[in-house]
């Protein structure tokens, strides 16, 4: 049998318009970092929305993620915060918590000082009252909190090798725990790469591996930026769909661009394997009328 190579595709558009085109229960892992509403200067998106607009929009996105996620799927939500808005990560995670079960809570450590030695980068702040913040949250949500994960896929070798026999382990690997040190690129490197708020590729890579790899699996990032989650999927040889509102970012992503195509019944997105749906344009207006591609286009 000839193996079908995995594809990583990016769709330029508003995820609230594009997510309805994806089929129910079609995604194994969603890894995403939404805008934090902290005034980051994105190419097109306004990151200074009033909370009564910002939070309901994310609720709608999370509801769509739940619809497209398989029952044994994982949703990794990365959120940061600043000292001026220290609750935003918690507020957003609580919205997701209304729809999902929080199965694991992970701290992404960008920089750590052990003794007198600091490893990793962070954005320093000049303040007489605040500490530099060197961590972000990664919330691992699942539908029922009972999804089997592959802890040893991101495991670390035992420091004390006698533990291998003592704990009857087959390999020299133990669970890494929920504090993940993943060094962040400096802001200078970040700017050079054209996006103000990327995460390192190791972050989505670790999330996907923790969920577990399987043949034909599908990864989603509805706030794809420069496609870092898709780059991780590519490294791991798995399929992925990204959605990004700013063409300037999606065009830079190193993956296959997907564009709306016309048919006599409207516009449709020919996403992976034709499993998508299409949206009709009626009287020149885009109506979110979702129909299965199986009905024919
Ligand atoms: C925190 S960044 C994600 C960066 C990404 N993780 C990476 O490593 O490149 C959030 C991204 O969401 C995009 N965005 C904002 N609103 C969107 C929407 N409604 N639909 C799709 N993308 C959106 C922004 O343009 C921005 O690139």
147 CA to middle of ligand 1, Å? 27
Give residues with Cβ within 8 angstroms of 46, minimum separation 6.
none
Region 123-142: mean pLDDT is 93
Give residues with Cβ within 8 angstroms of 269, minimum separation 6.
11, 18, 21, 258, 260, 261, 276, 277, 278, 279
- What domains lie within the chain, and their CATH numbers? 8-258 (3.40.50.150), 260-297 (no CATH)
As for ligand 1, residues whose beta carbon falls within 6 Å of it are 14-16, 33, 35, 42, 45, 195, 197-199, 223, 225-226, 228, 243-246, 249
244 CA to middle of ligand 1, Å? 6
Whether the CB-CB separation of 253 and 244 falls below 8 Å is answered with yes
pLDDT tens per residue, range 97-129: 999 999 999 999 999 999 999 999 888 888 999
Whether the CB-CB separation of 155 and 172 falls below 8 Å is answered with no
106 CA to middle of ligand 1, Å? 21
What's residue 274's pLDDT?
46
> What global pTM score does this model have?
0.90
């Amino acid at each position: 049998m000839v193996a079908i190579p995995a594809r990583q595709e990016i769709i330029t558009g508003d995820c609230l318009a594009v997510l309805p085109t994806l089929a129910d229960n079609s995604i194994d892992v969603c890894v995403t970092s939404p805008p934090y509403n902290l005034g980051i200067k994105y190419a097109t998106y306004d990151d200074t929305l009033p909370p009564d607009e910002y939070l309901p929009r994310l609720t709608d996105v999370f509801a769509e993620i739940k619809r497209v996620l398989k029952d044994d799927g994982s949703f990794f939500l990365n959120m940061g915060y600043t000292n001026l808005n220290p609750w935003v990560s918690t507020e957003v995670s609580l919205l997701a918590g209304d729809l999902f079960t929080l199965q694991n809570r992970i701290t992404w450590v960008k920089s750590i000082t052990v003794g007198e030695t600091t490893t990793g980068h962070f954005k320093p702040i000049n303040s007489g009252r605040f500490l530099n913040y060197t961590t972000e949250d990664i919330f691992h949500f699942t539908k029922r909190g009972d999804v089997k994960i592959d802890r040893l896929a991101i495991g670390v070798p035992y420091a004390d090798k006698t533990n291998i026999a003592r704990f009857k382990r087959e390999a020299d690997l133990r669970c890494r725990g929920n504090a993940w040190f993943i060094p962040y690129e400096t802001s200078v490197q970040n700017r050079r790469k054209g996006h103000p708020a990327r995460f390192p590729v190791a972050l989505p890579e670790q999330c996907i591996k923790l969920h577990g790899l399987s043949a034909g699996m599908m990864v989603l990032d509805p706030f794809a930026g420069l496609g870092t989650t898709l780059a991780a999927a590519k490294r791991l040889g798995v399929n992925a769909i990204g959605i990004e509102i700013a063409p300037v970012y999606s065009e830079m992503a190193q993956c296959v661009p997907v564009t709306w195509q016309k048919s006599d019944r409207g516009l449709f997105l020919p996403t992976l394997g034709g499993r998508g749906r299409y949206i009709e344009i009626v009287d020149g207006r885009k109506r979110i009328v979702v129909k299965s591609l199986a009905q024919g286009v």
